[in-house]
Amino acid sequence: MSQRIVVDPITRIEGHLRIEAQMNGAKIEKAWSSGTMVRGIEIILKGCDPRDAWAFAQRICGVCTLVHGIASVRAVENALNYSVPANAQLIRNLMIGAQYIHDHVMHFYHLHALDWVDVVSALDADPKATSELAQSISRWPKSSPGYFSEMKTRLKNFVEAGQLGIFAKAYWGHPAYKLPAEANLMAVSHYLEALGWQRDVARLHTIFGGKNPHPNFLVGGVPCPIDLESDSALNAERLAKVQNIIEQMQLFVDQVYVPDTLAIAGFYKDWASRGEGLGNFLTVGDFPESGMDDPASYLIPSGAILNRNLDTIHAVDLNAPDQVQEFINHSWYDYSEGKDKGLHPYEGETELHYTGPEPPYEHLEVDQSYSWLKAPRWKGHAMEVGPLARVLMLYASGHEQTRALVDMTLKTLELPLEALFSTLGRTAARTLETKIVADNMQVWYDHLIANIRSGETRSFNETLWEPSSWPSQARGVGFMEAPRGALAHWIVIENEKIANYQAVVPSTWNAGPRDPSGQPGAYEAALQDNHDLYDPEQPVEILRTIHSFDPCIACAVHVTDPNGKELVQVKIT
């Protein structure tokens, strides 16, 4: 029997995402991903002062805070050939790294874990057995029988009061949940602990950038002067707080996040053979040791992997007109030269044109335009970006720590290397890169302290600040590896103002629709890869794979909109 399942909105993400899945019996045969709201930040930026662009662009999203600000200032700096002091680069690395660690831990516990963890089942757990389980995998101090007994009582009070709150509207009791009650209680306890942890570690952004979300940035450097004796600058006390935050991050990652991921994954090894889809992966590179103009110093290298082939890394050139292009054949936009043409972002256009069914509607018109997302392609290939792409790129590049972590994970789970190409592999990759970034936080901090001790305190280069020093025309690309994947902003400057601005965003790469040749986007291809639904009325399998990408549809359509509602609506026709 053929039927169409509609999940709208997908919850526990940022933004508004609709998934439609055409079923062939219990198996997903075809899937379509649609971003259903839009507001054109790219249009708003035209005519603005390039030095102010980061403040507008950063409002693309509040969850992905910082990343669009960084990409924007880098775009202006690239266009003007504007160099950045070493201290500023290190501070940016620390801020980006903090965003990774905060974002990935929050995603695992508060957005994705509930696809694998049955909260209500935790009520059947034995606190003593839970303690033994927790202590067998980690030295985390909050692991006593008394602690888990207290957490169980808190959860029991939630349930008996009929006020599950943050745990409401889920599929508790679904047969797809496989964890024993003790593992569920341990994971729920760490869910609650992570709420307090994330509040504390977000302070790193406030120290360097003044606030969180949306910390402040500056073309040519960072907005925090360095003076160890000043109360109004980055001083010794504030630097000591940064060190403390880094230690908090590393401790939680090492003793909670990594062990929990391995423990939970052990019960879901069947998900190591479903949910890949494309087999093509893209990174733009980030975390430079000596500046964005020295790709050899990047912690995360740039490149493309095609057809799972880890033996060949293809070079990526974001300025080449035939490499990155955006297509709109199935998007609610128009191009001046027609909907079948792909445009490089320097020539990109943002002309909104909704041609879909009048809401409320039963189904998308999938043979026509069906999304507010464009379809980015690299040399014509649909690509996946994000943690899995980065871990594969590091592994293929011979990065020693990555190889050790991946090999340890696969050995622990008794899985082959091919298991990385999956929903489970994508989730594990996010955990492993969090460990890599957390360890490098200390390296960047130590280099910053060494610079300051040597007397080098510059954090801003004023040389090209005044527009009178700029050429009449310039263009550039600012790129970074955002937590969700490869991000780039392209800017065209004419007569000191922005003439064109285009952003190609991680979730646009992953959640975008089909292109003129019929290639699906990463979400669509992943759902079409070996997905059987136990109960179409409760499609937890769809949520598992979509959440493994950590969608941000606000970013993908460049919309500033509140978080998605906590009610999953499923329609079957």
Q: Which residues are catalytic?
A: 14, 61, 64, 68, 484, 507, 552, 555
Q: Are 60 and 42 in contact (CB under 8 A)?
A: no
Provide the β-strand partners of residue 22: 4, 30
Chain length of the chain: 573
DSSP string, 181-199: HHHHHHHHHHHHHHHHHHH
Query: In sequence order, which residues have a C-beta less than 8 Å from that of residue 66 and are 6 or more positions away?
Result: 58, 95, 96, 99, 205, 209, 213, 214, 215
Q: Are 552 and 15 in contact (CB under 8 A)?
A: yes
Q: Are 281 and 392 in contact (CB under 8 A)?
A: yes
Both tokens of 296, joined, read 């050899």
Give me the torsion for CA of 174, 176, 181, 184, rounded to 10°.
-100
Q: Are 186 and 201 in contact (CB under 8 A)?
A: no
Among 440, 441, 436, 383, residue whose Cα is nearest residue 406: 436
How far is the C-alpha of 487 from the C-alpha of 521, rounded, in Å? 16
Is the alpha carbon torsion for 291, 294, 299, 303 positive or negative? Answer: positive
Computed on alpha carbons and rounded to an integer, the radius of gyration of the chain in Å comes to 23
Beta strands at 2-7 and 570-572: parallel, antiparallel or unpaired = antiparallel
How far is residue 242 from each of residues 24, 221, 458, measured CA to CA in Å? 54, 19, 19
Beta strands at 286-288 and 298-300: parallel, antiparallel or unpaired = antiparallel
How far is the C-alpha of 402 from the C-alpha of 408, rounded, in Å? 10
* Sheet with 473-482, edge to edge strand ranges: 473-482, 485-494, 497-504
Backbone φ, ψ for residue 228 (5° rounding): -60, -20
Beta strands at 281-283 and 17-24: parallel, antiparallel or unpaired = unpaired
Q: How many CA atoms lie within 13 A of 430 on its CB side?
A: 31
Burial class (CB in 10 A: 0-12, 13-18, 19+), 197: buried
How far is residue 409 from each of residues 47, 80, 235, 261, 420, measured CA to CA in Å? 50, 44, 40, 10, 10
